[in-house]
Structure 1
Amino acid sequence: MRKQSLLLGSMLSVMAFSSSAWALDGLTFEVGQTNESTQTYRVGAQFDFTNPLWRSDGGAVALGGYWDAGLTHWSGLGSDSISLTPMFRLDFGPDNGGVTPFLEAGIGASVFSEPDLDDERDLGSNFQFEDRLGAGVRFASGSELGLRYYHYSNAGLDESNPGINKTALYYRFDI
């Protein structure tokens, strides 16, 4: 538990000292399904990186990112989770009719309220790593529509490490 607290505290510290951490840039609402066909519901807040990390010579491709903090309800599994994940995103554009496609990925930390999700699945610990891949489109208004794949695992920090996966559709409101 001490390693978990140290890792989560470190991530929160990095976020706190990031200049963009204080500006809420977006809110997401998400509905998903686990690999056991259980519904999930998530609300998240995004804090965009201040500047792109890289941009191609012509500006058609840019690497940027954001911090994502969220709360997920695992319907039927008797647990909720909070997460903090730095996301890195490749935007492909210039805008094509007001629509910019993107790919994104990130690895963060998540804490589950109950690691024993049902009679057959014990995640081993409350702390889980959150691996995430996604794709979507950003509209001229700044809102987004996308699809994400998540994998949660404690990476062997506990003897029991079955992990859990989910796929989700989300919509982001630009703030």
Structure 2
Amino acid sequence: MKRLALLSALLCAVLLTTSERAAAQIALNETPAVISGGVGWYDFNLSDDEAVDFRLEYRHGEDFLWLKPWGGVEVTTDGSVWGGIGVLMDITFFDSVVLTGSFAPGLWAEGGGKDLGHVVEFRSQVELGYQFENQSRLSLAFSHISNANLDDDNPGTEVLNLYYHLPLDVLF
């Protein structure tokens, strides 16, 4: 019991110091504008309509109240297409680990893949990545796409994706 209490106290101390540091890094805007490319496994959890998922996104470097705008397009090998514009938040830990949460409404076309039920689909995502010295980043993301019950048919889908984020200042 004492070990559990000691481990809990240590974990709380680490989380508190990390969150203070993360808040300082968010305020300093240490994540630049990036062009992001990704490849992933569409509908990996149900394996009903699996496909390869390709993504191209722009993520803005400036933030407003810790939120940054982003926009992107997602295409699968089954021919479905999703495009949306939303917001994200980057939280940097230990100078090189970046946790990103994002949300975006978008428009979707079925193609030959899974029927998600509506033309309006929402994508929420959590991603964990490693940021290199030149501020490029490699990350793994988990996302959920659904129509939030805008239609009676709302099967949703999950996507596991590997991203590479390239800062715009490296390109130009």
TM over 0.5: yes
TM-score (normalizing by structure 1): 0.69
> What is the correspondence of 1:60-139 to structure 2 with a 5 Å cutoff?
64-76=66-78, 78-93=79-94, 95=95, 100-114=96-110, 117-118=112-113, 121-139=114-132
Shift of residue 172 of structure 1? 0.6
Aligned length: 132
State the identity as a percent: 24
Name the one with the larger helix percent. 2
Cα offsets for 1:2-43 (capped at 9, x unmatched): xxxxxxxxxxxxxxxxxxxxxx92101100001233101111
Larger radius of gyration: 2
- 1-structure distance, mates of 2:53, 2:147: 20
- Check if 1:30 corresponds to 2:43: no
Gaps of 5+ in 1: 1-23, 54-63
Name the one with the larger strand percent. 1
Cα offsets for 1:77-104 (capped at 9, x unmatched): x2111121211121113x3xxxx10111
Gaps of 5+ in 2: 1-31
Residue type at the aligned position of 1:165? E
Residue type at the aligned position of 1:48? G
- Check if 1:142 corresponds to 2:135: yes
**Contact 1:105–1:134 (CA<8 Å) still a contact in 2?**
yes
> What is the correspondence of 1:160-171 to structure 2 with a 5 Å cutoff?
160-171=153-164
Runs of 4+ in 1 over 6 A off after TM superposition: none
TM-score (normalizing by structure 2): 0.70
RMSD between aligned alpha carbons? Answer: 1.9
